[in-house]
Amino acid sequence: MAAVNESVWTEQPAAARAPTLAHAFRITAAERGEEIAIRTKEDAFKISWAGLRERVDVLAAGLADLGLERGQTLAIMLTNRPEFHICDLAGMMLGAAPFSIYNTYTAEQIQYLLEDAEARILICEEQFLPQVLAARAAVSMLEHVVVVDRADPADRSDDTVSLAAVEEMGDPSFDVEAAVAQIEPTDVLTLIYTSGTTGPPKGVQLIHRNLLAAVEGFDKLIEFPRNGRVISWLPAAHVAERNAHHYIPIVFGVQVTCCDDPRQVLSYLPEVRPSWFFAVPRIWEKLKAGLETMMAAQPDERQREMQAALDAAIEKVRTEQRGEAVPAELAERVARADEEIFSGLRAMLGLDQIAAINVGAAPTPVEVLEFFHAIGLPLAELWGMSETCGAGTVNPPDKIKIGTVGPAAPGVEIKLDTDGEVLVRSEVVMIGYRNLPEKTDEAFAGDGWLRTGDIGTLDDDGYLRIVDRKKELIISAAGKNMSPANIEAALKTASPLIGQACCIGDRRPYNTALIVLDADFAPMWAQKEGLEGTDLATLARDERMRAAVQEGIDAANEKLAKVEQIKRFHLVEGDWLPGGDELTPTMKLKRKPIAEKYAAAIDRMYG
């Protein structure tokens, strides 16, 4: 990987030693005043750290006028836009706990969160008003709905108020510094609501001390450059987004570029050239498929040259992973390929100034990890959960073990229970679930150890491998334990036509799968093959498409144990979208609802 052209910190920034994130923001804003804090693509909007502090303080005064106080909560339902950071920080300055609502939530889901959090103020965009207002009708405690993008600031239709109006109503003499001085490290910083795969969402209470410990741990591993850059593109209701693209920038003065459409995030890379980029496996799988398609389109001689270079680089990666010395001739070939081919690919992608790149939230196929290592992008898996601020284990950039999620992050202890469940103890661990003392008690194994619900193994170097969620393991009719997530990852990486896969097999004689076509690649493939119609429902009924998917499943089966292999599959007519019947907003499978919704199709596969 090419060296990062950025200055590095000679010592830890003062903000990293602050008692709370609110104090950290004041320090960073003072030290980095004229530098750009937040921007959008092509600088359509940009604001300096000094300008951000001024805007935050004005809004904090306005929110105080609406009655927001220390210890209360502030609901936010926004896309990835500058106003999210401004509103969250304004609430933080008052000692409140801002929390985000997934943009896909229905009125009923919003109502549940508002009641659980006891929120009196909600900030949203015009596009979310229908479901927000429907939720407000059922929540007596919600007093104010603030709209960030109202065309007419004076418009108070639907009994809402514009963000501009709230900024104007604050007392100019309101003492924000005095409010910040009252905030303690043990005050709740935010609520992260779990995705609700096993019941109603639980409100994970994270305090200032939790997040500062997590930020410190990440910095010891990644060493964020002095002029670092990140892209804000994940849902703000997810702990990874808040940590990577909100709290870490506050402490280290990292510049944030907002991407309001997550489907466009890869197009932001060449302009931003981020210092750190985190994405779920599907992003990396699609990026690999795109690069391979580009290589396949080259003239024959160039294609052979690039493939030979890639094969040599993958051989080098595998040799290093085995702990063996790389032959000099191979090292020289790969170095030449890096200079002539791979460096250009990194620059084209916009990943040529990366300090670290990470993947998490689901298993990543080894082939994907090897590919990016080969082209000089050492993609590293990490593991964490909302209850641990997203921290847990992470592969150090210089000591990556492909196929593991790394050793315990700095300040984190990891051990396995008798049944293989991963237990965590650290300052990053939540103080508990909001309003759920019994669930909180169940989550801890005693002496501060958190039960994660994940089954794992530890190697001799302390590197963790995640097997699967404890409650999601498949036990076949013959008593064989299997990880559906690993089987699904093998299916998705075997064919770019497969967008989603759900493995079925618990207490069954063999494994089957529900397959969803990739919404981007499948229509392009269909058009190239001359198929009539390119919508997913039509394509799912086409025998040529089915045959092509079967080829992918056959390829995946070759890499799976016999008992894990997929014997039959059903092509779903349509797509599975985040926040829908089948996927959580963070794209985790809702296995029980899927089994119920597709019961007839599943039964036919076992008929």
Q: Which pair of tokens denotes residue 454?
A: 């994940």
* 59 shares a domain with 40: yes
54, HSE (Cβ side, Cα atoms, 13 Å) = 7
The residue to which tokens 């892209």 are assigned: 231
pLDDT at 478: 74
Spatial contact of 226 and 251, defined as CB atoms under 8 Å apart = no
Task: Compute the residue count for the chain.
Answer: 607
455 Cβ neighbours under 8 A, 6+ residues apart: 419, 420, 421, 422, 466, 467, 468, 469, 470, 473
Q: Residue 480 falls within a domain, yes or no?
A: yes
pLDDT at 227: 87
Distance CA(363)–CA(456), nearest Å, equals 12
* 233 shares a domain with 119: yes
**Which helix (H) or strand (E) element contains residue 307?**
helix 300-321
The neighbouring-strand residues paired with 36 are 48
Q: Residue 168 falls within a domain, yes or no?
A: yes
Q: Helix, strand, or coil here: 603?
A: helix
**DSSP labels, 531-589:** -S--SHHHHHT-HHHHHHHHHHHHHHHTTS-GGGSEEEEEE-SS---BTSSSB-TT--B
* 343 shares a domain with 393: yes
Task: Indicate the number of domains in the chain.
Answer: 3
pLDDT at 547: 95
pLDDT at 468: 78
Q: Residue 487 falls within a domain, yes or no?
A: yes
Query: Domain with 440 in it: what CATH number?
Result: 3.40.50.12780
Q: Which pair of tokens denotes residue 236?
A: 């703000």
pLDDT at 82: 98
* 229 shares a domain with 298: no
* 522 shares a domain with 451: no
Q: Residue 404 falls within a domain, yes or no?
A: yes
Query: Domain with 514 in it: what CATH number?
Result: 3.30.300.30
Spatial contact of 493 and 370, defined as CB atoms under 8 Å apart = no
pLDDT at 10: 55
For the stretch 459-489, pLDDT in tens is 999 999 988 778 888 887 777 788 898 899 8
Domain that residue 508 falls in: 474-605
Q: Residue 189 falls within a domain, yes or no?
A: no
* 329 shares a domain with 290: yes
Taking phi first (over 0 means left), then psi (-120 to 50 degrees means alpha), and beta for anything else, what does residue 95 get? left
Q: Residue 459 falls within a domain, yes or no?
A: yes
Q: Residue 200 falls within a domain, yes or no?
A: no
Distance CA(75)–CA(98), nearest Å, equals 6
* 324 shares a domain with 179: no
* 507 shares a domain with 456: no
Q: Residue 123 falls within a domain, yes or no?
A: yes
pLDDT at 477: 77
**Which helix (H) or strand (E) element contains residue 173?**
none
Spatial contact of 571 and 473, defined as CB atoms under 8 Å apart = no
Q: Which of 407, 436, 469 is the last residue of a domain?
A: 469
The residue to which tokens 């960073």 are assigned: 28
Distance CA(50)–CA(29), nearest Å, equals 5
Query: Domain with 244 in it: what CATH number?
Result: 3.40.50.980
* 519 shares a domain with 463: no
The CA distances from residue 328 to 116, 314, 316, 373, in Å, are 62, 15, 10, 19
pLDDT at 280: 84
Q: Which residues of the chain have pLDDT under 50?
A: 1-5
* 314 shares a domain with 429: yes
Distance CA(588)–CA(26), nearest Å, equals 37
Q: Which of 469, 500, 524 is the last residue of a domain?
A: 469
* 135 shares a domain with 25: yes
* 536 shares a domain with 433: no
Spatial contact of 319 and 239, defined as CB atoms under 8 Å apart = no
Q: Which of 443, 469, 495 is the last residue of a domain?
A: 469
